[in-house]
Amino acid sequence: MLAPMLESARLFNRRFGTTAVVAGVAGAYDYETELRRRDNAGITIQYDNSRSVIADSDLVVTASGTATLETGIIGRPMVIVYKTGWITYQIARRLVKLDTIGLANLVLGEKVVPELIQNQASPENISAELANYRDHQERYLTVREKLLTIPQRLGGIGASDRAAELIGRYL
């Protein structure tokens, strides 16, 4: 998902004169090569520092997974993107009957942040969703407020311990 995410950052930066930071994991991907492929003015990489990058950001683009929950707990409006192989997607959509796939949205019980899945996860669509936050401050603030309720919905401090205890009872 890095290539469409970077392209969406380029589009957004060009439109609004902003900067973007990629929170990378050292050794997991050759980010520098990907950045050298095109004009990447205003895009930088910070390794192994995702929480700080998210906290310092106004908007986040993240792949579906636990990162959406982390981003939500920090209270940053985001666009969730997910793309997998065609066959895998076809099987999953027949087996999984959910209206939403992002953990932040699942915890909140509603689609609070946009999810762009498969062909919807294009640079143009990602950039447009980011622009929608920027152009509609009230939406941005409403989403942020809802995201900040995630820790409470998860049970607050000690939720991990409570979950482990509950799981332990069933083992």
Name every residue whose Cβ is closer than 8 Å to that of residue 34 and which is 6 or more positions away in sequence.
2, 3, 6
pLDDT tens sequence across 117-127: 999 999 999 99
> Left if phi > 0, otherwise alpha if psi is -120 to 50, otherwise beta: which for 75?
left
**What is the DSSP code string of 149-167?**
THHHHTTSTTHHHHHHHHH
pLDDT bracket for residue 70 (50, 70, 90)? very high
Q: Indicate whether 15 pLDDT > 80.
A: yes
Q: So what's the architecture of 2-170 in CATH?
A: 3-Layer(aba) Sandwich (3.40)
pLDDT value at 26 more than 70: no
Q: Rounded to an integer, what is the distance from CA 159 to the centroid of its chain?
A: 22
CA distances from 84 to 63, 89, 90, 120 (A): 11, 6, 10, 12
